[in-house]
Structure 1
Amino acid sequence: MTRTSYLEEPRPTALSPHAVALAGLVKTYGTGPARTTVLDGVSLTFPHRSFTAVMGPSGSGKSTLLQCAAGLDRPDSGSVTIDGIELTALDEVALTRLRRDRLGFVFQSYNLMPTLTVRQNVTLPGELAGRRVDAGRVVELLTRLGLAAHLDDRPANLSGGQQQRVSIARALLNDPAVIFADEPTGALDSRAGAEVLALLREAVDTGGRTVVMVTHDPIAAAVADAVVFFADGQVADFLYRPTAETVAARMAALGGVR
């Protein structure tokens, strides 16, 4: 079954074309009797300047959706379009370049190099790509994220919340069109998690980014403009203008957060 986008409801900030458009995504794993359909004909669109949370029980397909939408995995069929570019038509070299230049990633594990300083961790992807990195912009960005005193510290000397802010700085440095976040507050305490969510919210409201975030936390989801719920590889429900209470109630109806 193919579901149309939950964000077709008129929204004053929505622009056309959509930042991300998924059409008829199918993804399976295994063969024969062990074959499992993880995405079953999923179609969604995410407008520019929107913040969407993706939720669902364990095994519902939400993380696979994010992986396919971000070009980190390829669907068996269907299409993924980001900023008007169809990812499924790109070879691996072009796909890597698009991820590097147009997308930002924030994960539960911060993915920082322990032997590098904060500043070096932020600039590393650009340097590996052979791009000139604006050192002044790096300092400005880290200062804005409250890390001015930690430019030359290594990750081990930072709290979890500070490390996640470094990963957000790295994601923002190249002005990505879309930021994909997979459980970005999952390893943080409530205060640090709230700070990270506020930064992602700011990236949408002030920076004009589009954020797609997988989360299990109703409080985190309440920061988004809308929530899409997954169950059994399909879109099960939508929720606009979420609150923690309404998100928790919808998740309970789907079998709970696991």
Structure 2
Amino acid sequence: MTRTSYLEKPHSTAFSPHAVVLSGLVKTYGSGPARTTVLEDVSLAFPRRSFTAVMGPSGSGKSTLLQCAAGLDRPDSGSVMIEGIELTALDELALTRLRRDRLGFVFQSYNLVPTLTVRQNVTLPGELAGRRVDSGRVLDMLTRLGLAEHLDARPAQLSGGQQQRVSIARALLSDPAVIFADEPTGALDSHAGAEVLALLRNSVDTGGRTVVMVTHDPIAAAMADAVVFFADGRVADSLLRPTADTVAARMTALGGVR
């Protein structure tokens, strides 16, 4: 397997060229005979201002990896560093603040509040954090995402692609250093999915952010700078400058796209 910067020994300082550094992650569920190891001594480093796709067969551990990297779950052992901050050393309050202030999240289920309008959904995190929300910036963001005519609409009045764009606007308005996306196109048609992927790609190319995306779709993965492949709780391979065909071939070798 060709080694790349994604598989090199991670840097651990605040001046690291990597935005997210995972070292020796172990995560298990259950106990006794039912104990299952989901992550087994995983070390990865995601470069700043990069777009990385994480892929693997069902049950390979890729979603658990994302949850631990984003501070949404805690590993049993190992280290998670984001922008030089050690997540595993933070208490729950400090971890919540870090997620709120430095990280963005985009999920397949959108996670919008159904009773709130588009405008209210995107400003909610800032208001909960006690931050002043710049209404002009909100309008500009929603306009650029093609949502200016839907400011007062509620999620049920929007298409799936529009709802996902609202969730991306919400993530971007917090000025995150890193955006974690878990199957962001999984519930969308091909056109809406392409729009969402373009927005994530643009957040790296022009916004200088780092995106880590779990996906099962080779076409989605081809939008990334690199793909990290998971199998049986370990990093199995990596691929720079992916295409849909090369990604699909690697996935077939690992047990198929599921």
SS at match of 1:75: coil
2:191 is aligned with 1:187: no
Structure 2 partner of 1:12 = none
The DSSP-based 3-state class of the residue aligned with 1:63 is: helix
Segments ≥4 residues shifted beyond 2 Å: 3-9
Q: What is the Cα deviation at residue 183 of structure 1? A: 0.1
Deviation at 1:8? 4.8
Task: Give 1:33's aligned residue.
Answer: 33
The CA deviation at 1:234 is 0.1
TM-score w.r.t. length of structure 1? 0.95
* Aligned-residue RMSD, C-alpha: 1.4
Q: Is the CA contact (8 Å cut-off) linking 1:118 and 1:154 kept in structure 2?
A: yes
Residues 225-244 of structure 1 correspond to what in structure 2 (within 5 A)? 225-244=225-244
Report the equivalent of 1:80: 80
Alignment of 1:194-233 (within 5 A): 194-233=194-233
Distance 1:20 1:85, change over 3 A: same
**CA shift in 2, pair 1:4/1:75, >3 Å:** farther
Aligned to 1:175: 175
Structure-to-structure mapping, 1:1-258, within 5 angstroms: 5-6=5-6, 8=8, 16-258=16-258
Residue 257 of structure 1, CA deviation: 1.0
Q: Give the equivalent residue in structure 1 for 2:12.
A: none
State the 1:7 CA deviation: 5.9
Q: Over residues 138-163 of structure 1, what are the superposed CA-to-partner deviations in whole Å (9 max), with x where a residue is unaligned?
A: 11100111111111111111110000
Paired-residue identity, %? 88
SS of 2:18's partner is: coil
SS of the residue 2:105 aligns to: strand
Query: In structure 2, how many angstroms separate the alpha carbons of the residues matched to 1:41 and 1:193?
Result: 33
Cα shift readout 1:10-40 (whole Å, capped 9, x = no counterpart):
xxxxx83410000000000000000000000
Q: How far does the alpha carbon of each residue in 1:41-89 deviate from its partner, in whole angstroms, 9 at most, with x for none?
A: 0000011100000000000000000000000000000000000000001
Structure 2 stretches lacking a partner, 5+ long: 10-14
